[in-house]
Amino acid sequence: MSEVSDTTLTTDGLSAPIGNDGRVLIIACGALAREILALIEMNKWTHMSLTCLPANYHLYPDKITAAVEEAVVKHRPNYAEIFIAYADCGTGGLLFEKCKELGVQMIQGPHCYSFFEGNDVFAATSEDEITAFYLTDFLVKQFDAFVWKPMGLDRHPELLDMYFGNYTKLVYQAQINDPALDAKALAISEKMGLPLERRFTGYGDLETALADL
């Protein structure tokens, strides 16, 4: 998936002029773009539009809060409501505080692995799965770009045990049923030397949060 820039999208991915009469803008992590567009189209949420910040901010969480604030200020005049499709995502509570200050809502939970699983379910099981490494559909597709290469494992495979030696399994949280993604997840588990557990989570609390809008 190509990185989604800060642009307003309709369900067909085209730029569109937006009025503010009851319109909702979702400001999201680019890693959630496909899922959010699928939900908008599936549920015919025609009052919603999407704009995404770069997905690679996952690698630089210190950039997220300021980027979200800039996007809210930029788009607020054109929408009746703005929703932030980020969890805490490594911001250490700063994004939550900024959203309170700006008067906008955000997804609850520490990260996307939690809200895809369902925050209540994840909270109940996370202590027992502290040695699990999680993947979503996006990360299965972009594993090399977002995990393998940034960690330097493409150049130094000998570092694999140092990075992942304490993990005991790979958990693939599948948003859709796609045999091609299942095959990629299996290849990743073999690459990492970890047993694979696949869970079909669907869209979890992401769908619930958007439905509430």
CATH number at residue 95: 3.40.50
Q: What does DSSP assign to residue 155?
A: T
Burial of 122 (0-12, 13-18, 19+ CB in 10 A): buried
The answer on 94 and 123 residing in a single domain is: no
Instruction: Answer for the pair 75, 49: CB distance below 8 angstroms, yes or no.
Output: no
Identify the weakest region by mean pLDDT among 81-90, 121-130, 170-179. 121-130
Tell me how far apart the alpha carbons of residues 189 and 170 are, in angstroms, rounded to a whole number: 6
Give me the domain span that covers residue 126.
118-200
The answer on 136 and 84 residing in a single domain is: no
The 105-106 sheet, strands edge to edge: 48-53, 24-29, 81-85, 105-106
Q: How confident is the model at residue 127 (pLDDT cuts 50, 70, 90)?
A: confident
pLDDT digits (tens, 9 = 90+) for 139-174: 999 999 999 999 999 999 999 999 999 999 999 999
Q: What does DSSP assign to residue 144?
A: I
Number of helices (H) and strands (E) in the chain: give both, helices first: 10, 7
pTM for the full predicted model: 0.87
**Identity of residue 165:** G
Mean pLDDT of 9-24: 54
Q: CA–CA distance from 130 to each of 85, 86, 118, 126, 213 (Å)?
A: 25, 22, 17, 6, 33
Is residue 94 one of the residues assigned to a domain? yes
Q: How confident is the model at residue 126 (pLDDT cuts 50, 70, 90)?
A: confident
Domain count for the chain, please give it.
2
The answer on 78 and 137 residing in a single domain is: no
Q: How confident is the model at residue 14 (pLDDT cuts 50, 70, 90)?
A: very low
Using the 3D structure, point to which of 106, 138, 164 is the last residue of a domain: 106
Is residue 91 one of the residues assigned to a domain? yes
* Mean pLDDT, the chain, integer: 91
Is residue 185 one of the residues assigned to a domain? yes
Residues in the chain: 213
Mean pLDDT of 61-69: 98
Residue 188: which of 207, 169, 208, 209 has the closest Cα? 169
